[in-house]
Amino acid sequence: MDYPNPHSADASALGFLYQAQYALLRLWKEQSDDAVVFLETLDDVVLKTNGETILEQLKHSLSEKPDAITVASLNVWKTLKAWIDVLPNLDLPRTWLHLVTVAEISPNSPSKFF
């Protein structure tokens, strides 16, 4: 099929597959026996280990070279909004927030601190 299907769920399906594979790899690399991973709960991937919670917002792309991440990137602001929404459910001193992306961070962006 050489024409795009406007009703295709390819990107969504690949995104969920990426989340599952990422979560399994993340869990496999954990050294703690008490580690637990969740998908699509407080965030795309949530890892609980050693009394800490790690929320991971995954930004996958089908582009060969996705747009670089900047402070103005919609994905950054969507991620911050997702984290703000779950703040009441978090024990902040024991929580880490990770934005995981396949895109580069723009070298001129103050978001380089991420």
Cα 33 from chain centroid (whole Å): 23
Alpha helices in the chain (DSSP H): 10-29, 74-86
The pLDDT, as a whole number, for residue 23 is: 97
The pLDDT, as a whole number, for residue 62 is: 77
The pLDDT, as a whole number, for residue 19 is: 95
d(CA 110, CA 51): 31
The pLDDT, as a whole number, for residue 67 is: 87
The pLDDT, as a whole number, for residue 70 is: 86
**Domain 10-113 in this protein, CATH class:** alpha beta
The pLDDT, as a whole number, for residue 15 is: 87
User: Tens place of pLDDT for every residue, the chain, 114 residues?
Assistant: 567 788 888 888 888 999 999 999 999 999 999 999 999 999 999 999 999 999 999 988 878 888 888 888 898 999 999 999 999 999 999 999 999 988 888 887 765 554
- What 3-state class would DSSP assign to 96? strand
Q: Pairing state of beta strands 36-39 and 45-49?
A: antiparallel
Supply the pTM of this predicted model.
0.85
d(CA 66, CA 112): 17
In the chain, at which residue ranges do the beta strands (DSSP E only) sit? 36-39, 45-49, 52-59, 95-101
Cα 107 from chain centroid (whole Å): 21
The 10 Å Cβ neighbour count of residue 85 is: 11
53, β-bridge pairs:
48, 95
